[in-house]
Amino acid sequence: MIKTVAIIGDRFMLPRLFEQALREACGEDLSIRSLEQAWPDQPMEHGYAKAGMDGLKEYMGEPDDIVAFIGDAPILVTHLAPLSAAMMDRLPALKLVVVSRGGPVNIDIGGARERGIKVVNTPGRNASAVAEFAIGAILAQTRMITRGHDALRRGDWRGDLYRADITGEELSEMTVGVVGYGHIGTRVVRILKAFGCRILVCDPYVQLSVEDLRDGVEQVSLDRILAQSDVVTLHPRVTEETKGMIGAAQFAAMKPGAFFVNTARGPLVDYQALYDALVSSHLRGAAIETFAVEPVPPDWPLLQLQNVTLTPHIAGASVKTVKIAARTAAQEVRRYLSGEPLLNLC
């Protein structure tokens, strides 16, 4: 029996790669229709601004247009398309939604469960990309790469960055604190080992691997990470427990002259408190990849500081991320069609 799959991708998660992965995993007995959204060339919706979209954030597409495109398809594979409870009521044939991201925040999971619609995601799809990026962000700050780059852009040759009292330390002499030991945090630790630094890990819900213990990685409290680390890098998910977990008290508890890196999520951090810690020179620098509001307002104070590396939420942007997500999504569709248990049921 031919099954219909509606694919709603974008200019990052390309629909053609979804379709290719589906054909390879499920064969040709699929009727596939595809829609390409304009993200990231056009911004997605953030927050809970629109009526009828309760509980959804970080999505793209008008509800009527999305419902019309999905139509009678029992399977939806998407990246950013929204699916509210009201939209589900207009899609009686829909049985499976595959979301190619770690957190399916564009889907009303409770509404889907109530209506018997299965929702799966692709956890860890960008773990390798974000881990590499985090290491780059750490080096950009600790080795003055950003400061040298910005100065040359202004026509200023910062030879003084070679002074012993200004130049950066090597990671081999530093203690790096990794907060969050999931898909990304574990990869960050794996890469950091090659630099020879002391590594501290804080995550109350996981245990270090035997390999990490053998290599001298230490599992400690957040307080100890803050007190002892020369670099603190964040990698937890956003939950009620972790929202605002790094604020004024935590920055005050960090070592004077330490660096702070956030390639995780904006709601984890009080950015006004970070600004204060940087302006006061309590912290030597920071690398910020995610923000409380995106896009960042052009008059945002942190944009004006010279001791900050800023990037527009691109840590997970790699072709490998796309390929992993497409393959993972396709395998979930194959399992569903074959009657096998779904691996990443939300």
pLDDT in tens, 30-89: 999 999 999 999 988 875 567 778 789 889 999 999 999 999 999 999 999 999 999 999
Query: Which positions are annotated as active-site residues?
Result: 265, 294, 313
| CA-to-CA separations, 102 to 98, 275, 325, in angstroms, rounded | 11, 29, 9
- What pLDDT sits at residue 294? 84
Kindly tell me the burial class for residue 279, based on how many C-beta atoms sit within 10 Å of its own C-beta (0-12, 13-18, 19 or more). Answer: middle
User: What's the pLDDT tens digit per position in 181-215?
Assistant: 999 999 999 999 999 999 999 999 999 999 999 99
Dihedral angle, C-alpha 179, 258, 291, 138, nearest 10 °: -80
Mean pLDDT of 219-244: 96
User: For the chain, what is the mean pLDDT?
Assistant: 95
At 48 the pLDDT is: 59
Confidence at residue 49, expressed as pLDDT on a 0 to 100 scale: 60
Residue 173: how many other CB atoms lie within 10 Å: 11
CA angle, corner 132, sides to 179 and 181, nearest 5? 25
Q: In what order do the strands lie in the sheet with 198-202?
A: 218-219, 198-202, 175-179, 231-234, 258-262, 283-288, 308-310
Separation CA 142–CA 199 (nearest Å): 16
Look up residue 127 and give its amino acid: A
36 and 11 in contact (C-beta within 8 Å)? yes
Which residue from 189, 178, 161, 288 is spatially nearest to 230, judged by alpha carbons? 178
CB 80 within 8 A of CB 37: yes
The conformational region for residue 281 under phi > 0 = left, psi -120 to 50 = alpha, else beta, is: left
pLDDT per position as a tens digit, 155-180: 999 999 999 999 988 999 999 999 99
pLDDT at 254 over 70: yes
Cβ(307)–Cβ(313) below 8 Å: no
Amino acid at 307: N
Among 59, 18, 76, smallest CA distance to 322 is for 18
Asked if 229 contacts 177 with a C-beta cutoff of 8 angstroms, the reply is yes
Q: How many CA atoms lie within 13 A of 294 on its CB side?
A: 23
Give the model's pLDDT for residue 255: 97
- CA 154 to the chain's CA centroid: 32
* pLDDT more than 90, % of the chain: 90
Q: Which pair of structure tokens corresponds to residue 171? A: 């990671």
Nearest-angstrom CA–CA distance, 304 and 302: 5
The whole-number pLDDT of residue 6 equals 98
Burial degree of 238 (CB within 10 A; 0-12, 13-18, 19+): middle
Which among 196, 195, 247 is positioned nearest to 226, based on CA atoms?
A: 247
For 136, phi and psi rounded to 5 degrees?
Answer: -60, -40
Please answer whether residues 56 and 36 qualify as being in contact, where contact means their C-beta atoms are separated by less than 8 angstroms.
no
| Nearest 10 degrees: Cα torsion 5, 10, 15, 17 | -130
